[in-house]
Chains A and B, each alone.
Chain A
Amino acid sequence: MAEFSDRELLDLFRQEGSRHYAFNLLVRQYQGRLYAFVRRMVTDPDESKDVLQNVFLKAWNGLDRFREDAQLYSWLYRIAHNECITHLKRLRRGLFVSQDHVIERLSTTLDKSEHFTGDAIQAALQRAVMTLPDKQRAVFTMKYFQELKYEEISAITGTSVGALKSSYHIAVRKIEDQLTRDRTK
């Protein structure tokens, strides 16, 4: 699919007759990258789909107020980030359980081959990522798996680059410790 610039998509969106068409293009353009992020955060495919749909519904409602001094992608990513954090919080509250139980629930996806094709070490890595606090996990996912720059993550999360670097390095150390512990079991 041909990539459209933010300007092209927004111009089309602002014309009454092509509003839905423009939004359809926008969804098609960004759904892949956003899904990868949401899936890493939420892991369950059905829940990931629900979260991503909410992301785009919120984008639909807010696109009129979108300020063009930011990138459309960063703005969508920010909505996705917030939706994932909200979803994980809601999950914890709804189940009235500890973080360990939530991790256990999220990990069930990793045991099903139709949802996860990674080997044992990749499953171990994913479990280690799940032990991180939600926001640290989001930072690690964006930096390590999605390879976003600190400046981009800063625009998405509203956190300073310095704080993000610290958070990322702490996350890396925690994951390394977890992987080492798993290996020695």
Chain B
Amino acid sequence: MEHAPEDDDLERIAPMLSRIPRTDPFVVPEGFHDRFAQEVQGRLPRTARTPVWRPWLLRTAMALPVAALLVTGWWMLRPNPTEPQKAPGLDAASADLAEVVWEEDLLQGLTDEELAALSPVPEAPALSVEELADYYELTGTDLTDLIESL
């Protein structure tokens, strides 16, 4: 057998090893190489090769329920069209603030009397039945006329 270039070095560093013939001393069982390829074929799966698109389809099938859940969640949480719509872009705090600003603009330039006139009239305290009777007697109001005017 033809030796590699490194073998010159081998003879120097390993003289015993370099003198041993490199023939293969292992016996190959008779007919091994004739039978082996058939034996390997016998262990191969016979099913058709998985098409390239199949793993892709599998991933899509797994993603579909997740997508369905997301869509359902969005559908359930979306704003109800039957509920009264808020002014677009205004939340509750912004709407209150706009109202205050709007009122300030309206009241600008009014006199104190005009402002006092706009102020709500304080409600009169409710009278008891006896007080009311005394009041009508004092003012001479005829109760029959009063009831008819209602």
Contact = CB atoms under 8 A, between A and B. Distances in A.
Contact of B40 (A56, A121, A173, A175): A56
Contacts of B13: 169, 172-173, 176
B29 A125 contact: no
Nearest to B36: A31
A70 interface: no
A118 B23 CA distance: 9
B21 interface: yes
Interface string B7-25: 0001001111100111111
B10 A172 contact: yes
Given A20-B44, A31-B37, A144-B22, A172 B14 contact: yes
Given A60-B44, A117-B27, A175 B14 contact: yes
A27 B14 contact: no
Interface residues of B, number: 29
Interface stretch (A4-12, A32-40, A82-90, A94-102): A32-40
A115 B16 contact: no
Contacts of B20: 121-122, 125
B32 interface: yes
A136 B40 CA distance: 29
B78 interface: no
A91 interface: no
Contact of A16 (B26, B36, B43, B48): B48
Instruction: Classify chain A: how many residues form its interface, as a range.
Output: 35 or more
The A interface is mostly helix, strand or loop, or mixed, namely helix
Interface string B135-148: 00000000000000
Given A169-B13, A172-B10, A45 B40 contact: no
B37 A45 contact: no
B41 interface: yes
A43 B27 CA distance: 10
A42 B13 CA distance: 27
Given A172-B14, A175-B17, A183-B16, A53 B39 contact: yes
B58 to A, nearest CB: 17
Contact of B37 (A28, A39, A125): A28
Contact of A20 (B27, B32, B39, B41): B41
A115 to B, nearest CB: 5
Interface of A: 16, 19-20, 23-24, 27-28, 31-32, 35-36, 39-40, 43, 45, 49, 52-53, 56-57, 60, 64, 114-119, 121-123, 125-126, 144-145, 147, 169, 172-173, 175-176, 179-180, 183
Top-7 shortest CB links A-B: A118-B25, A176-B14, A27-B37, A179-B16, A56-B40, A122-B25, A39-B26
19 contacts: A20-B41, A20-B44, A24-B41, A27-B37, A31-B33, A35-B33, A35-B36, A36-B26, A39-B26, A45-B28, A53-B40, A56-B40, A60-B44, A114-B27, A118-B26, A126-B25, A147-B1, A172-B10, A176-B13
Interface of B: 1, 4, 10, 13-17, 20-29, 32-33, 36-37, 39-41, 43-44, 48-49
